[in-house]
Every structure is written in structure tokens, then in C-alpha cells.
Amino acid sequence: MKNLFVLLILSYLVFFLSGLVFGQVNAATLKFDKTAVTVNANETFQIAVIVDSGTEQISSTDAYVLYDATLLEAQSVAAGSFFPTVTNNITSGKVYIAAFVDDPATYKTDSGTIATITFKTLKNGSGNLTFDCPNGSKIVKNDLNATNIIECSQNGTSSVSVGGAGTGATTYPTSSVLPQTGIFANIAKAAIPGMILIMLGGMLRLVL
């Protein structure tokens, strides 16, 4: 009886602590390929819209990009290569991009460019490119319910400064590595496997 009780506790500890190590899920987000752009007035620049599925399988995304229509003019949208089908609609202050798979039986994972927007600057000043979320933008999971799994708080933004001293556009690419959790959290995650082994050893000694 004692051995059975110990084995039950041991199984619970392995299940619970393993979940702490392996159960973390990355959020599905939208971002731009540049976090900042500096360009002169009456010039054009391009910025790519990127979808990141996190750890999920996705079938489509709707991206609503908001911008200051007194500062910028969206001129065109070029389809990216991540999804096979991409459509768009440009209105004053907003660019709508829809991207999706052709076959409902297929899906996409990881991250990639869904479209590239060309903007023209209208005057000196500064503003931000953001995603309209949760009112419009979506990332749809490949499931029967078409679940929207976008994490609005983790979406990217891009600041635009018009009227810089330099000629042409200066851009600052988005880091391909997402920020990690704090140092303490990383240390804790690294220590958990060791704790599991110590507990396993102690329990086995009691059983044996």
C-alpha cells in the first residue's frame, strides 16, 4: 500500500513539473519587419506585414493596419509568399489585408510575410503603424471552430519619422528573436529538470 501511494505521488510530480517545463505556448501575433522608419517628405518606403503562428497551426489571418492619413498615404499592397491567396483594400487611414490557404485541409505554421505595403510620406512629422486589434485583426486557428488566437497585446508596431536629415529611408529591422522571459524565469526553468530527478531519486529510495 505504501509503495502504491509513493508511486501515485511520483506520477503526479512528474506530470505537473513536466508541464512547467514543456507546457509553455508562444502567442500568435502580427508584426512589421521594421520597428522604426526615418524618411524624408514626398518619398516612399515599404514595410512588410508578418504573421507569427506561435506554436499553432493556422489557416488564415486578417490584418488591419492603421496609420495617420495626414502623414502617410498607402499607395499599394504586394502579396507575400506565406499564404497562397492574399487580398487587400486600402482606405484613408487603414489598410486591410486578408491572407488564407486555398485548401481547407492544409495549414501554415511558423512565421512569414503576408504582404508588403508601400507608403508615401506627405509632410514632416511622426506617427505609428499599428494593428487594429481586437476589433478587426485576427489569426485563425486550423480547427473546426475557426478560433481567433491572436494575442493583441503582443502585436508589433512601427514608428515613422518624416523629415530626417538624411536622404532616403533609414529602417530598423525587427529582431528575428523574440524577447525572452526574465532571468529568474530562465533559471527556474533550467532548474526544474534537476528537481524532478532529485525527487525521483528520493521516491525510488522509499519504494526500494
Helices 183-207 and 2-22, packing angle to 10 deg: 160
* Assigned CATH for 29-173: 2.60.40.680
Nearest Cα neighbor of 101 from 113, 114, 84 is 84
Total count of residues recorded for the chain: 208
- The residue ranking higher by pLDDT, 127 or 26, is 127
Q: Any idea of the CA torsion for 108, 35, 48, 93, to the nearest 10 degrees?
A: 110
Are residues 96 and 62 in contact, defined by beta-carbon separation less than 8 angstroms? yes
86 membership: H or E segment, kind and range = strand 85-91
Are residues 185 and 3 in contact, defined by beta-carbon separation less than 8 angstroms? no
**Residue 119 phi/psi, 5° resolution?**
-110, 150
| Cα–Cα distance for residue pair 32/175, rounded to 1 Å | 10
> Which range among 70-74, 149-153, 187-191 shows the weakest confidence by mean pLDDT?
187-191
Confidence of residue 120 (pLDDT cuts 50, 70, 90): very high
Residue ranges of domains in the chain: 2-23+183-207, 29-173
| Tens-digit pLDDT profile for residues 23-76 | 445 789 999 999 999 999 999 999 999 999 999 999 999 999 999 999 999 999
Q: Report residue 142 CA to chain centroid gap.
A: 16
Confidence of residue 134 (pLDDT cuts 50, 70, 90): confident
| Cα–Cα distance for residue pair 129/138, rounded to 1 Å | 17
- The residue ranking higher by pLDDT, 140 or 24, is 140
What integer pLDDT is reported at residue 36 of this predicted model? 96
